[in-house]
Amino acid sequence: MEDLLLVVAGTTEVSAIPGISIAGPSPEATHYTPTLDVEYLVAGKPLTLDVIPATPTGIPTPALVTRALTRGLPKLVVDAGCKYPPKVPAVNLGGVHGGDIRRGALPKEVVQRLIERGRTLGRSLAPLRLAIGETIPGGTTTAMAILIALGYDAWGRTSSASPQNPKELKIAVVREAVSRLKTPADPATAVAEVGDPVHVAIAAIALGALEEGAQVTLAGGTQMAAAAALLKALGGDPGRLRVVTTRWIVEDKSADFMGLMKEVGVGEVLASKTSFAGSRHQGLRAYEEGYVKEGVAMGYALWRAERLGLDALRLVEEEYERVVLKSGNRE
């Protein structure tokens, strides 16, 4: 039986803080990135804007890798709280665009709604096997804040889409945010004060699915530590979760992916082995230089391709040429 790939999308004002995120050509443009990611993933092209999400230097979204390697795999978009609702079929959990965590993240009633509806969605999808990915710019910052709010020592341990992880900036933002909290906080309070709509939605969906006996894979990097920690705080067993990510995340010396997974109590951790070092395109070779690393279930897509014996790099290069080079862009 194939997995059902869910991609949970959302946005916050955290990604608009200059220097926090490179998941778009500018801080303001990051609010479009999750919308464009999921549109492109399922429709083959972005619909809200005619542009493939990229870093300021033109390195393409990890959604390109995921789309290239998951053709034929059933997909479901979950809108946990996008500023710009995607123009593709999606399950809307009733979330909203999140705030700047230094001043509060989400109304508590919205968090409760995300927990209730996410849990119901997870239950309704069992006994399907679920792989749950994410797209949320600034998500490693809110993930750090969620973990700390729940009582974990996560200072500076989450990853970044940039080769230069802006840890000092992220720590300063998180320190200001969590100063309002008495830790450890309960999960709803932690998310309402310093979280975002995506991590809590992932936790709730996974919790509901596990309650019905489904197999759940969290398809992502250090952010999935926050989702697993929220699941645990909501009464779930993180030991029943599998996390699949890229080797770029595992090898990231600016973060501590394996340490966080162990502390939260995740049952199994797997990573893809594919390298883009031999690619003929600089935009893909840049992944080997520490750009992007994960997102939109890229690690899961690569790992699945390896398991199926697919030529992952060739397929990704073909998709890159289709959407990046043939659109008139130059490397």
d(CA 39, CA 77): 9
Q: What is the DSSP string of 216-284?
A: EEEESSTHHHHHHHHHHHTT--GGGEEEEE-HHHHT-TTS-HHHHHHHHT-SEEEE-----TT-S-HHH
Pair 158, 28: CB distance under 8 Å: no
Residue 327: predicted pLDDT: 55
Pair 30, 138: CB distance under 8 Å: yes
State the residue for tokens 């840890």: 167
CA distances from 246 to 141, 222, 232, 306 (A): 19, 11, 24, 12
CB atoms within 10 A of CB 198: 33
How many whole angstroms from its chain centre is CA 160? 11
Residue 294: predicted pLDDT: 97
Residue 56: predicted pLDDT: 72
Nearest CA to 220 out of 126, 115, 116, 136 is that of 136
Q: Is the dihedral of CA 309, 313, 316, 321 positive or negative?
A: negative
d(CA 198, CA 262): 22
Element (H, E) at 65: helix 63-69
Residue 54: predicted pLDDT: 75
Question: What domains does the chain contain, in order, with CATH numbers?
Answer: 4-325 (3.40.50.10210)
Residue 60: predicted pLDDT: 86
Determine the 3-state secondary structure of 303 from DSSP: helix
Residue 323: predicted pLDDT: 87
Residue 328: predicted pLDDT: 52
d(CA 43, CA 240): 32
Residue 25: predicted pLDDT: 86
pLDDT in tens, 259-275: 999 999 999 999 999 99
Q: Give the pTM.
A: 0.96
Residue 324: predicted pLDDT: 81
Residue 1: predicted pLDDT: 72
pLDDT in tens, 170-203: 999 999 999 999 999 999 999 999 999 999 999 9
Please give the radius of gyration of the chain, using alpha carbons only, rounded to the nearest integer: 18
Residue 246: predicted pLDDT: 98
- Ranges of the chain with pLDDT below 50: none
Residue 326: predicted pLDDT: 62
Length of the chain in terms of residues written: 331
d(CA 46, CA 48): 6
Residue 134: predicted pLDDT: 98
Determine the 3-state secondary structure of 98 from DSSP: strand
